[in-house]
Amino acid sequence: MHSATHTEVSMPLRNGGMIARLSYAVVIAGGALLTARVPGVSDRMGYDSTLVAIAILLALMLFPSWGMYRVARWRLLWRCVCVPVLAWLAVLAMSCLLVIALHRTYRPNLGWLEEWAFISAAGIVVCRLVAHATFLRPAGHDAHTRTVAIVGNAARCRQLMRKVSATRDSAYRVMAAFDTDPREGVAPTGFTTFCDREAFAECVRRSHINELWLAVPLSEGSTIVPFIELFRNDLIDIRFIPDVSGLSVFDVGMSNIEGTSAINLVASPVAAHSLVGKEIFDRVFALCVVALLAPVLLAIAVAVKYSSPGPVFFRQRRKGANGKVFSIYKFRSMRVHAEPAGVVKQATRNDPRVTSVGAFLRRTSLDELPQFFNVLRGEMSVVGPRPHAIEHDKFYQDIVEGYIHRYRIKPGITGWAQVNGFRGETDSVEKMQGRVAHDLYYLSNWSFWLDMRIVVATIFKGLVHRNAY
């Protein structure tokens, strides 16, 4: 057995996260005010104020992805100086580009911009240093790796081992395991595995292991008692990590309900407070798209109007976040026709209902552009599961596992399924199952950077697709 080694342990600021957000906003705004008296600086039509406001919003949205709300005892120069400065300069550059894109005649005063950048960067670094000094002092006793022994079947032990290994700056190291189902015949690798309880207990004591994780299914609760009895005279932390993989839809999480811990079996994997940055990005991005593509939108509207009699926009009822119904907007790509009540026929290849202009719009996804108005109205997101017709929802939710959970968040103009080839007609249950599987993966693994990856993939390979007709 190898002895425990030091590792770089980081931890979230918990309640201090809100204080950190507020302090960064105050520092950025304060830096702008302190440097506002630079000669030649004037509030040109409020554009300078707009730049400051956008910089604060982007900082609140992007700083978490840079680890700005986490503290660690190691690599302090990198975490407290380099990362904050790089993050702030990236935010400032993005803010300038965004304001210039919205107001092409605007150019910030470079003297003011340099002083603002320097003073705010210094303030953010000071905030980081204060946070580390404040939050690491009481956490000093947790600065060492905690060794762990796991009780569970081989598959569950491997799963926990992968999670510990994949967690950056993990505070845990798995040292041993007790296989509750040796009949599987596949022992987890990377640590010693036991099938005899007494030999397992001897290893735990000899190696001075800090924690015992009981990772067994709820149906095998009787397995817990013998191990608690086995270590009743040992100073070891025992934690129950129930295996509910057969019951839960997403990765299991915990909630605190009025001081009582609860396991989330069926709940949204994305917390509401985590979506604030996504909401800000959606509105800003949609506003930029509408402003920059206004001539294109007007040209398409004229082409649609003259392609065949009927309205420019096609509206259809779809489900949004939490099943709330809204009207989705598209450029009309078909001739006006009537369909039987409760029936929605998907477009097929060489569909005679599609106009020549409509075929081009559908092939290039330009018919989807009006959905940016849905984003501005707060009904949709730039990235998310694509909404389906309500009639299709009623059909598929009973035959595709997990289908309804696509509506845990706002539907999107593009999504993980679309950039992975699942777009266009879903003429088989298998295609819909593939689309839903990708949507649920997106929900379970959502991050702001995954959204950015999908947006970039959509621009370069998702606008035109052979399944779009």
Phi-psi region of 47 (alpha: psi -120 to 50; beta: other; left: phi over 0): alpha
Are residue 320 and residue 439 in the same domain, yes or no? yes
Give pLDDT, residue 277. Answer: 78
Interval 159-186: pLDDT, tens: 888 888 776 667 788 889 898 887 765 5
Query: In terms of Cα–Cα distance, which of 395, 461, 385 is closest to 428?
Result: 395
- Per the structure, the count of domains in the chain is 3
Query: In terms of Cα–Cα distance, which of 201, 186, 199 is closest to 149?
Result: 201
Q: Which long-range contacts (CB under 8 A, 24 or more apart) does 390-393 make?
A: 390/317, 390/318, 390/319, 390/325, 391/342, 391/343, 391/344, 392/344, 392/426, 393/319
Interval 97-118: pLDDT, tens: 888 877 777 788 888 888 899 9
pLDDT-derived band at 247 (thresholds 50, 70, 90) equals low
Q: Tell me whether strands 253-257 and 211-214 are parallel, antiparallel or unpaired.
A: unpaired
Q: For residue 160, what is the domain's CATH number?
A: 3.40.50.720
Give pLDDT, residue 140. Answer: 41
State the average pLDDT for the chain. Answer: 79
Question: Would you say residue 220 has pLDDT above 80?
Answer: no
Interval 249-282: pLDDT, tens: 666 566 656 556 666 666 677 777 678 778 888 9
Are residue 38 and residue 106 in the same domain, yes or no? yes
Give pLDDT, residue 244. Answer: 67
Percent of the chain surpassing pLDDT 70: 77
Query: Do residues 332 and 348 lie in contact, with contact meaning Cβ atoms separated by under 8 Å?
Result: no
Q: How far is the C-alpha of 330 from the C-alpha of 202, rounded, in Å?
A: 68
Query: In terms of Cα–Cα distance, which of 224, 231, 233 is closest to 203?
Result: 231
Query: In terms of Cα–Cα distance, which of 451, 378, 457, 465 is closest to 62?
Result: 451
263 in any annotated domain: no
Q: Return the DSSP state at 145.
A: P
Give pLDDT, residue 448. Answer: 83
Interval 366-411: pLDDT, tens: 888 999 999 999 999 999 999 988 888 888 888 888 888 888 889 9
Query: Do residues 230 and 201 lie in contact, with contact meaning Cβ atoms separated by under 8 Å?
Result: yes
**3-class DSSP state of 270:** coil
Are residue 321 and residue 360 in the same domain, yes or no? yes
Q: What's the average model confidence in pLDDT over 348-368?
A: 79
Are residue 108 and residue 170 in the same domain, yes or no? no
DSSP for 69-112 reads TEEESS-HHIIIIIHHHHHHHHHHHHHHHHHHHHSTT----HHH
2 in any annotated domain: no
Angle at 33 between CA 30 and CA 35, to 5 degrees: 110
467 in any annotated domain: no
Give pLDDT, residue 328. Answer: 93
Are residue 356 and residue 423 in the same domain, yes or no? yes
Are residue 217 and residue 332 in the same domain, yes or no? no
Element (DSSP H or E) covering residue 374:
helix 371-376
Q: Which residue has the higher pLDDT, 4 or 333?
A: 333
393 in any annotated domain: yes
Q: What's the average model confidence in pLDDT over 69-94?
A: 80
Q: How far is the C-alpha of 148 from the C-alpha of 236, rounded, in Å?
A: 10
469 in any annotated domain: no
Are residue 155 and residue 119 in the same domain, yes or no? no
Are residue 222 and residue 103 in the same domain, yes or no? no
User: Which distant-in-sequence residues (6+ apart) come within 8 Å of 421 by Cβ?
Assistant: 465, 467
Phi-psi region of 378 (alpha: psi -120 to 50; beta: other; left: phi over 0): left
Are residue 118 and residue 153 in the same domain, yes or no? no
Query: In terms of Cα–Cα distance, which of 112, 126, 110, 123 is closest to 28?
Result: 123
Q: Note down the domain range covering 32.
A: 10-136
Are residue 132 and residue 179 in the same domain, yes or no? no
Are residue 115 and residue 159 in the same domain, yes or no? no
pTM, entire model: 0.57
Give pLDDT, residue 217. Answer: 79
